[in-house]
Amino acid sequence: MAEYEIGQFVYLIVLLIAVGSWGFVQNRQSLGKTLQMFAVWGFIFLGVIASYGLWDDIRQTVRPQQSVSVDAGRVEVPRSPDGHYYLTLSVNGAPVEFLVDTGATQIVLNEKDARRAGIDTENLAYLGRAMTANGEVRTASVRVDDISLGGISDSNLRVWVNEGQLDKSLLGMGYLQRWSSIEIRSGALMLTR
């Protein structure tokens, strides 16, 4: 901790002791009620802190999930609260969550997802270049055996592994054009084969 943080911490402790002492002196006649009140407010405070700390996990749990209708050859994905569409595809048998990016030309895997799909990222030749919002990054072209979405599979597809910082893998037009229809309606992305 920096010195100013220690000073702030000490100040808050002294303030808490002062307010607590005042509350104790004011309510010493009904000490049981006062302790109950402090306990209730303490639990409320802990609940708020826990909710704040677990917010990302809670948001992931309640985020709308993709629904896949295999019989009709159709995939419907609700818009995420952040305004984007996410699809989970199986790449060489490994589940990979993609950000649907119509501005990307190809399927782009970040290194973590590429390793999970069985691609040896240490021995790839990063000969390609791609312009991103963060500048130019090096890429490596590789073929994957299988990419599937809800029972609809494509084989021997070329993907690009991004050597730079990429939070989510990108599902670009190279994959989306394999579908006969791409439509956004009522806040949902619909892909039809």
Distance CA 33, CA 45 (A): 18
At residue 55, does pLDDT exceed 80?
no
113 vs 66, which has greater pLDDT?
A: 113
170 vs 136, which has greater pLDDT?
A: 170
pTM: 0.63
Distance CA 130, CA 142 (A): 15
At residue 106, does pLDDT exceed 60?
yes
pLDDT of residue 48: 82
Average pLDDT, stretch 148-154?
A: 84
At residue 27, does pLDDT exceed 80?
no
As a whole number of Å, the end-to-end CA separation of the chain is 57
Q: For the domain with range 66-192, which CATH number is right: 2.40.70.10, 2.40.50.500, 3.20.10.10, 1.20.1440.230?
A: 2.40.70.10
Kindly list the domain boundaries of the chain, sorted by start residue: 3-60, 66-192
pLDDT of residue 57: 67
| Helix or strand (DSSP H, E) at 18 | helix 3-26
